[in-house]
Amino acid sequence: MARKPNYRFERSERDRQKAAKKAARLAAKQGKTETTTDAETVPAAPEPKED
């Protein structure tokens, strides 16, 4: 005999998995941008002006 479907639970599980995947991608993206922006945020020494 087939089981009775629990649509609400199945939908909430799909939404939970989708949110976890999205959070993991966002964390990876933020980690990647932090490593690249650390090198970019270091201000370069200004060039001396010649008068």
Counting Cα atoms < 13 Å in the Cβ hemisphere of 50 gives: 0
Top pLDDT among 51 and 21 is at 21
Across the range 30-38, mean pLDDT stands at 77
pLDDT surpassing 60 at residue 39: no
CA distance 49 to 42: 21
Predicted confidence at residue 51, as pLDDT, reads 63
Q: What is the pTM of this model?
A: 0.56
